[in-house]
Amino acid sequence: MVKALVLTGFGINCEEEMAAAYKLAGAHADIVHLNEIFINGFDIHNYDILNFPGGFSFGDDIASGKVMANKIKYKTLPSGQTFIAELKQFIQAGKYVLGVCNGFQMLVRMGLLPNLGEQFEQEVSLSHNNSGRFEDRWVYCKVSEDCKTPFLKGIDVFPLPIRHGEGKLIIKNEELRNTIIEQKLNCLSYCTADGSLTSDYPANPNGSDLDCAGLSDPTGQVFGLMPHPEAFLSLYNHPNWGQIKRKNPSISEDGEGLNIFKNIVAHVAQEKAIEV
């Protein structure tokens, strides 16, 4: 069976929804407090997919995800290695990492995304929304053509909820921006309901460079996004589900966010030649 590890602790608060997503997608999911790794040496390598859920790690007191990223990069584990070293080995073994919202912020600040230099050093940042306020509502997202990550296979335009105050992606220079475009790492973008990419508020809730809602690394194994797919596991999570169902009575009762989890579970199962 495909095994997903969902991390929690220190202000992460979306772990139950993320574990539920994997279970609905046919995987086994365990929720583990980060102290089990930091203090007790819990082994992440028994899992296929490592997940950093959303929340408010360390209260976002410095910058969202910054304290957690530093803890992961510099704290020595019982093995004598840092957690970031364990993550490098995890990725080099061909396994997968997902970060949502605060988890995406962690991946960026750890240097796992976009990781163009392959040195796990921070290359982009996430800053305060252009609106100057926390945004808690639904947006539309479009998957980029030829994106590399299996998390997004077969998905085009779909709605997802957002809940963030610091979701604006900032790319430090034009060279890096061009490389992200060339390598198709800007895999998920904010758009209007008809799929047109936009930098305009409110369809783009934060003013991200490249209208970016999600990035992958060059391998496609690491994927992070600001919207919350784990909060759209059922059609009935959508605030307008009644009208949607009246227009299409035969529509699936699965939420469109669940497709991301189904995709990665099916992909890993295929790699391991097991049934989901």
Q: Are 22 and 29 in contact, with CB atoms under 8 Å apart?
A: yes
The catalytic residue positions are: 101, 228, 230
Q: How far is CA 219 from CA 15, 91, 252, in A?
A: 25, 9, 32
> Which CATH number covers residue 159?
3.40.50.880
Burial of 120 (0-12, 13-18, 19+ CB in 10 A): middle
Residue 264: name the closest of 22, 83, 11 by CA: 22
Q: pLDDT tens-digit profile of 132-184?
A: 999 999 999 999 998 999 999 999 999 999 999 999 999 999 999 999 999 99
Q: Are 45 and 51 in contact, with CB atoms under 8 Å apart?
A: no
Q: Taking every pair of C-alpha atoms in the chain, what is the biggest distance, in angstroms?
A: 58
Give the number of domains in the chain.
1
Give the pLDDT score at 5. 98
pTM: 0.96
Give the pLDDT score at 272. 85
Whole-number Å distance between alpha carbons of 50 and 2: 12
Q: What domain range includes position 195? A: 3-272
Question: In the structure encoding, which two tokens stand for residue 80, read together?
Answer: 């004598």
Q: Give the rounded percent of residues in the chain with a pLDDT score beyond 90.
A: 93
Q: pLDDT tens-digit profile of 26-78?
A: 999 999 999 999 999 999 999 999 999 999 998 887 788 999 999 999 999 99
Whole-number Å distance between alpha carbons of 137 and 62: 24
Q: pLDDT tens-digit profile of 215-226?
A: 999 999 999 999
